[in-house]
Structure 1
C-alpha cells in the first residue's frame, strides 16, 4: 500500500505554515497571493462541473507536473477534467513520459472550445499557450497559476507568486485548499516540477519552503532515484553526437558563451527536439562566462533561445524585451531570425561589463 503522507510527522493537512522569521513568499515579506484570491479560486473550482487545464507549449517538468497533479485531484473530487498543451505536434517529451495521470491529457483539437473555467500552469503569457490561446480568450474564467516575474497577468484571476521556486509549490497549496491529499503518484508529479525548476535544488531560488515541500513529497514513498534517472541520466546515443557538435562550435565572447543546435544536427541522428534541452546546462559551466545562450532550431524551423546567468546579469529582462520571459537567472524567447541576427539582437541588449 502506498504510504499516506498524513501518517507522517510533516505539516501536510493544510497549507504549510511559513518558517519562523521568514516571509511566506514574495520579496516584500508578505504573501504574494492573498487569501481573498485563494478563496475566489477555490470557489470557482467548487462551482464548476468541468475544469479545463492548460500549460505552456513544449512543457517542462514544472508545467506538466503541476497540471497533472492538480488534474488528478480535481478528477478525484468528481470534476470532469481535460488537460492539454498547445503544440501542433502533441506529444509528451520523452523525459516526462514516466509521469502518472497522463490519461487526463487530450490533444488541442479535443480541448473545450470555450471553457467555463480554465486553469493555466507555468505560462507567463497568453501566447505561451500556443494553439490553446484562442480557447483561453473564449473562456469565462481563466485562473493563471505561475511563478514567473514576467507574467503579464492575462487571466481573470492571478494566482502568481514570483517568490516561490516552482509553480508546483502553488499547485501543492491549491491541492490542500481543495481538501485534497497526496499519494505517491500526485507527489511524483509535484516533485518533478519542484526538482526541475530548482535545478535539483542548486538554483538560488531554492528556499527552506522548497526543501520542506520535498520532504512532504518524499514521505509518500516516491522514488527520487528513479525520477532523477529519468530526468538527467538517460539519453539516446545520438545526443552525445549532437552535444559534441554544439560544444565544438561553442563561442566565448568576453563573459558570454553561446552555441546552437540546428535541425540538420538532430536529423543526422534522428534526435527529437526535446532531447537537446539539457545542453544549456553543460555550456553554462564555462568559468569565463557570466551568461550562456543556446539556440535550438525546432521542427518548424524556428529558433528557440535558452539563456542562463550566474547572477550578475538579469537574462529575464533581456528575454522579455525580445518577446519572451522567465527569471533573473534563466529565461528564453523565440526568434524569427537566423543564428547571426538572433545573437546580434541578444548582444545589443546584454549589459556591458563596467
Structure 2
C-alpha cells in the first residue's frame, strides 16, 4: 500500500517564482489530456520528472502520456522507476493533446522528432532548470537555482495540492540525487526535500543501486581502454583539461549508461579544471560530455559549440576527427 506525504496547501509559498508556479498549476489543473516529453536519451532527472508529474496527474483524473524520441525503450537503468506504464512509443504519441509539457529540456532540438508537437499543441509548458534554456514554448517554469527539474515538479505538485506518495517520491528522489551527484551540489532546501521524500518511504540504496552503481562485466574492459588513453592538456588560458574518447568499438555491447559513467571517473583527475569525454556516435560524429570545477563555466563553452547545460555539467555534439574535435574544444575554452 502506498504511503503519501501530506500535500502542502495549494498556493503555499515556494522559493521559486510564485506567478510562474501558479500559472503552470492552473494550466495543469484545467487540462483533461497531457503529453509529457523528456529529452532524447532521458536521464533520471528527465524521466523521473515526467513520471512523477504523470503519476500525480493521472491519479487526479487526467489522461497522460509520457514519451521521448529516442531510444525506443526506457533505458535499462531507469526501468524500475514507478509509472513506466505511462510511457508510450514516440510513434503513438497523441499529436494534438490538450497540453504539452516538456521536462528537463533546454531547447526544442533536445526533443528530437517529437519537437513538432510544439507546433500542433495550443500550449506548451516548459519545466526546466538549465541556464541554457531557450524559452521555447508558451509557458515556463524555468529556474536555474533548482538543483534538478524534479525539485520544480515537487514545487508544482505542492502548488496544486496533490499528494506525493512513495511512487512519486522515488521518481523525484532519483532526479534530485543524480543531478546533485549524490547531494554534493545541493542546497539545504534540496536536502530538506530529500528528507521529506525519505519520510514517504524512499529507500535510497534500493532505488539508486540500479541507476548509478550497477554495470556489466564488459564495462571494465571499456574503462581500461578509455582511461588508458586519457590525457591532460592545457588551453591557452591556462585551463588544464583531462580528456579521453570512446570509440564505437569500445562501446560495442554496452548501454549508454555505461558510457555516460566515464566522465564521473575522468573528472576526478587532480590538478585539472575541466574534464571532457568524446563518445563516438558515427564515423566522424561525437557526443561530448563536459564537467568542471568551480570557476569554469562549461555551459558557456558548450553553448558556443552548439550545446548547453549547467555551469559545471554540460554537453554538445560535433563532427570531424577526434583530433579536430579536441582542438575545437580547446579553442572554445581559450575564447
1:322 and 2:320 correspond: no
Number of positions where the alignment pairs a residue of Structure 1 with one of Structure 2: 330
Structure 1 residues 63, 16: CA separation in 2 closer, same or farther (over 3 Å shift)? Answer: farther
TM-aligned CA deviation for residue 301 of structure 1? 7.0
1:117-128 to structure 2, matched below 5 A, reads 117-128=99-110
What secondary structure sits across from 1:298 in the alignment? strand
1:161-211 deviation per Cα after TM superposition (whole angstroms, max 9, x unaligned): 0011110010001112222101111100000010000000112xx101100
1:217 and 2:202 correspond: no
In structure 1, the residue matched to 2:162 is 180
Q: TM-score, normalised by structure 1?
A: 0.89
Alignment partners' CA distance in 1, 2:4 and 2:156: 19
Alignment partners' CA distance in 2, 1:96 and 1:15: 32
1:226 and 2:212 correspond: no
Decide whether the 8 Å contact of 1:115 with 1:136 is kept in 2: no
Decide whether the 8 Å contact of 2:11 with 2:160 is kept in 1: no
TM-aligned CA deviation for residue 12 of structure 1? 4.4
TM-aligned CA deviation for residue 278 of structure 1? 0.8
In structure 1, the residue matched to 2:275 is 292
1:119-268 to structure 2, matched below 5 A, reads 119-203=101-185, 206-254=186-234, 255-267=240-252
1:75 and 2:55 correspond: no
1:5 and 2:1 correspond: no
In structure 2, the residue matched to 1:21 is none
Decide whether the 8 Å contact of 1:306 with 1:333 is kept in 2: yes
What secondary structure sits across from 2:132 in the alignment? coil
TM-aligned CA deviation for residue 133 of structure 1? 0.6
1:283-340 deviation per Cα after TM superposition (whole angstroms, max 9, x unaligned): 0000021100001123797421100001121100000111110111110011133322
In structure 2, the residue matched to 1:85 is 68
Alignment partners' CA distance in 1, 2:284 and 2:103: 26
Q: How large is the RMSD of aligned CA atoms in angstroms?
A: 1.8
Alignment partners' CA distance in 1, 2:279 and 2:167: 32
Alignment partners' CA distance in 2, 1:15 and 1:332: 36
Structure 1 residues 300, 142: CA separation in 2 closer, same or farther (over 3 Å shift)? Answer: farther
Alignment partners' CA distance in 1, 2:27 and 2:227: 49
Name segments (4+ residues, structure 1) moved above 6 Å.
none
Alignment partners' CA distance in 2, 1:249 and 1:326: 26
Q: TM-score, normalised by structure 2?
A: 0.94
Structure 1 residues 239, 16: CA separation in 2 closer, same or farther (over 3 Å shift)? Answer: farther
Decide whether the 8 Å contact of 1:325 with 1:333 is kept in 2: yes
Alignment partners' CA distance in 1, 2:195 and 2:9: 14
Structure 2, unmatched stretches of 5+, are: 235-239
In structure 1, the residue matched to 2:86 is 104
TM-aligned CA deviation for residue 13 of structure 1? 4.9
1:115 and 2:100 correspond: no
Decide whether the 8 Å contact of 1:148 with 1:162 is kept in 2: yes
1:350 and 2:333 correspond: yes
Alignment partners' CA distance in 2, 1:218 and 1:300: 45
Alignment partners' CA distance in 1, 2:9 and 2:139: 25
